[in-house]
Amino acid sequence: MTSVRVPTRWHLLRHAPAAVEKGTVYGRTDVPAIPQDPALLKRIAAQLPPDSLLVTTPLRRTTETAEMLEAAGWAPRNRIVEAAFAEQDFGAWEGNTHDALGREGSADYAAFWDNPARNRPPGGESFTDLTARVSAAFAILTDTHPARDIVLIGHGGSIRAIIATILGMTPENALALEISPLSLSLADHAGTEEATGALSPWRLRCLNMRDGF
């Protein structure tokens, strides 16, 4: 018989909007988060479990979002910083806008859009690269923190990569997922002690939730 444990529950929250010009490529650039309405932060904080494990990335917009939520009353028990969950590295394009890159007529920029899931910006990484590093760290944390509530305050790309891993999506299909700032996605790992065969141990409970706040 398969023995079922309490699930490991991931609460995947994208950081607050970043303080950048609209259309800016800022993947690994360490830009700040924009302060948010306290009433909104309280509603989000109420959705997050107390005494959970908080995971942020080295980029300040995730840490600043966590600080906003803690000021609104949320109290995680432990916290770690996981570099593998950082946003996609766009290399030479970081800090530029898509409009400016398009006007420059770069062959690299034009070729990127032929397959944006697998092509790399100059000096950067592809979404497929991002998914590989995120999925490895995601598996390790799921295994090492069983039956815990884990709150990741991450990035659009890293959360998209986690959802793709859970659902077994191709990188191309995963890019169709919308992950809005301050949206919450929830996933449970069943935590079975034996192999589940063809049945996935994952359950995606919600995706890109904002109306509930």
Up-side HSE of residue 145: CA atoms within 13 Å toward CB?
21
Tokens representing 142? Answer: 């799921």
Per-residue pLDDT of the chain (213 residues; tens, 9 = 90+): 455 578 999 999 999 999 999 999 999 999 999 999 999 999 999 999 998 999 999 999 999 999 999 999 999 999 999 999 999 999 999 999 999 999 998 899 999 999 999 999 999 999 999 999 999 999 999 999 999 999 999 999 999 999 999 999 999 999 999 999 999 999 999 875 544 556 789 999 999 998 666
**Beta bridge partner(s), residue 128:** none
Helix (H) or strand (E) holding 108: helix 107-112
| Structure confidence at residue 195 (pLDDT) | 47
Q: Domain 8-89+125-209 has what CATH class?
A: alpha beta
83: how many CB neighbours lie within 10 A of its CB? 10
What is residue 52's DSSP assignment? P
* Sign of the alpha-carbon torsion through 23, 177, 118, 166: positive
